[in-house]
């Protein structure tokens, strides 16, 4: 789901403008788009030579077009990580890519973060000059709300979207298997070898993990799971109704806490730390993104330590913004299945 600290900005689209004083005409001239590039080897390492025009209709219903399969791909970090798992490499990324100590952010998956151009590493940051320098053929990102391109700043999006075609895939309101399949379709269009043994094995692992989670939830229907995220002043209890992962957890029978007083977007209820125990839970899944406070850093919150799940050691990470490949999503199901299998009823 959107970061609890950023969700209100998402609904208002009040992002910071970026890009500097770069004239649009000069930008267009420097970029040139995909139309002026000769057809070349597709982005997917395992893909065959693909001549002729490229088109892809995204989850907005918008059809992106180019004279040849895009080679210069710029993508949101998590999207780039998913494409990587399906054999498609990108030139540039925007979104959480490196932590403050230079290590790969959790959202970067298996990307080599030192081999991609980072044109924005935090919310609201998008360097248009760097973007133009990459001569992008296509920009690809997630979509948490209708027609809102994740991590593309609203104040500069009109300039950005004139420089190359864009593709947005849903990251909410659809169950995880469907979302992964859309990433498969996109990767295949870009030349990815989505029928490789690696992908087939990862899909088999994902399906086995789903069966395991279903069995665990059926065996222990009394175990309640709360989806949480921590900030200095508030604790956010997420609704399972919109995120792709929790939608799938529900389908598989997991007993998820449903908060009663949601924000306008239907994502979460915010609680003061004094009221953090409002909802009883046997397992707490905590937002693992670098924008959220992690459980080991909550010692200053005495009400946190008093929660039954915390006392029982039944707190696990939640990959709030999954990398939508079978390879990266299978462990999410396995980890929750294991937590339920081992959980005791404590609340």
pLDDT at 52: 74
The region of weakest confidence among 17-21, 190-194, 330-334 is: 17-21
Mean pLDDT of 220-228: 98
pLDDT tier at 210, thresholds 50, 70, 90: very high
Q: What is the pLDDT of residues 305-328, one digit of tens each?
A: 999 999 999 999 999 999 999 999
Two tokens at 105? Answer: 């952010």
Contacts (Cβ under 8 Å, ≥6 apart) of 231: 4, 5, 292, 293
What domains are there in the chain, each with its CATH number? 7-193 (3.40.50.1980), 200-342 (3.40.50.1980)
pLDDT at 49: 44
pLDDT at 213: 98
Mean pLDDT of 263-289: 96
The SS3 of residue 256 is strand
Q: What is the pLDDT of residues 81-126, one digit of tens each?
A: 999 999 999 999 999 999 999 999 999 999 999 999 999 999 999 9
Two tokens at 342? Answer: 């081992």
pLDDT at 156: 95
The SS3 of residue 311 is helix
The whole-angstrom separation of Cα 202 and Cα 328 is 9
Pair 272, 215: CB distance under 8 Å: no
Two tokens at 326? Answer: 């079978």
Say if residue 263's pLDDT is above 70: yes
CA atoms in the 13 A half-sphere facing the CB of 76: 25
Sheet holding 73-76, edge to edge: 117-120, 92-94, 73-76, 138-143, 166-170
pLDDT at 1: 57
Mean pLDDT of 325-343: 98
Alpha-carbon distances, residue 103 vs 99, 107, 290 (angstroms): 5, 11, 12
Mean pLDDT for all residues in the chain:
88
Mean pLDDT of 277-303: 95
Say if residue 20's pLDDT is above 50: no
Mean pLDDT of 34-58: 57
**Residues constituting the chain:** 347
pTM of full prediction above 0.95: no
Mean pLDDT of 168-189: 97
Beta strands in the chain (DSSP E): 54-57, 63-66, 73-76, 92-94, 117-120, 138-143, 166-170, 224-230, 234-238, 255-256, 268-272, 283-287, 315-318
Mean pLDDT of 142-151: 95
| Phi, psi for residue 4 in degrees, rounded to 5 | -60, -35
pLDDT tier at 51, thresholds 50, 70, 90: low
Percent of the chain, pLDDT > 70? 85
């Amino acid at each position: 789901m959107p970061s609890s600290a950023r969700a209100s900005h998402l609904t208002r689209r009040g992002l910071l403008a970026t890009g500097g004083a770069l004239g649009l005409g000069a930008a267009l001239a420097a970029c040139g788009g995909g139309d002026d590039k000769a057809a070349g080897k597709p982005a997917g390492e395992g893909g065959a030579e693909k001549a002729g025009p490229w088109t892809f209709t995204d989850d907005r219903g918008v059809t992106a077009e180019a004279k040849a399969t895009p080679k210069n791909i710029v993508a949101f970090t998590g999207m780039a990580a998913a494409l990587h798992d399906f054999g498609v490499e990108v030139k540039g990324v925007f979104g959480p890519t490196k932590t403050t100590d230079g290590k790969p952010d959790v959202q970067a998956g298996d990307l080599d973060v030192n081999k991609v151009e980072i044109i924005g590493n935090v919310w609201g940051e998008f360097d248009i000059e760097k973007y133009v320098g990459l001569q992008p053929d296509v920009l690809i990102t997630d979509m948490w709300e209708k027609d809102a391109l994740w991590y593309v700043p609203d104040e500069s999006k009109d300039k950005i979207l004139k420089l190359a075609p864009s593709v947005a895939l849903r990251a909410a309101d659809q169950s995880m298997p469907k979302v992964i399949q859309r990433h498969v379709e996109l990767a295949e269009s870009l030349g990815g070898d989505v029928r490789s043994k690696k992908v087939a094995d990862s899909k088999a692992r994902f399906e086995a993990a789903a069966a395991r989670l279903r069995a665990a939830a059926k065996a222990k229907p009394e175990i309640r799971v709360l989806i949480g995220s921590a900030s200095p002043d508030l604790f956010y209890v997420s609704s399972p109704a919109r995120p792709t992962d929790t939608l799938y957890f529900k389908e598989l029978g997991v007993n998820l806490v449903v908060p009663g007083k949601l924000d306008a977007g239907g994502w979460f209820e915010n609680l003061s730390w004094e009221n953090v125990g409002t909802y009883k839970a046997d397992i707490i899944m905590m937002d693992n993104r670098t924008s959220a406070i992690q459980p080991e850093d909550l010692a200053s919150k005495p009400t946190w330590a008093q929660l039954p799940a915390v006392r029982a050691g039944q707190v696990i990470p939640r990959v709030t913004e999954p990398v939508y490949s079978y390879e990266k999503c299978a462990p999410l199901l396995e980890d929750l299945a294991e937590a339920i299998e081992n959980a005791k009823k404590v609340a």
